[in-house]
Amino acid sequence: MKKAVWNSLPPRPEDVSRVYALIARSPILQADALRISGLTKTRFLCAIDALLARGVIEEKPKGIFQLIQKQNG
């Protein structure tokens, strides 16, 4: 489900990198990631949408984002 409902512009690459780095450290709540990233809510959600669309992160219940674990073999 798309998170950034008010903006259809592509996210800035640096925003995507910043959000990815936060999630790569450990699973994180959306609210915490937003606060730590220092991005506006719209810029943050656009980055989340891009990462979800690429299939590199997933959203767990209660707004927790984490990297998708690739299965070997």
Mean pLDDT of the chain: 89
Per residue, the 3-state secondary structure of 24-58, as one string, reads: HHCCEEHHHHHHHHCCCHHHHHHHHHHHHHHCCEE
Q: Where are the domains of the chain?
A: 13-67
pLDDT tens readout for residues 20-43: 999 999 999 999 999 999 999 999
Residue 59 to residues 27, 55, 62, 63: CA-CA distances in angstroms?
A: 9, 11, 8, 6
CATH number belonging to the domain at 13-67, selected among 3.30.470.20, 1.10.10.10, 3.20.20.10, 1.20.1260.10:
1.10.10.10
pLDDT at 9: 76
Q: Residue 29 phi/psi, 5° resolution?
A: -70, 145
What tokens were used for 42? 């719209």
Q: Is the pLDDT of residue 73 over 60?
A: no
pLDDT at 65: 97
pTM: 0.85
| β-bridge partners, 13 | none
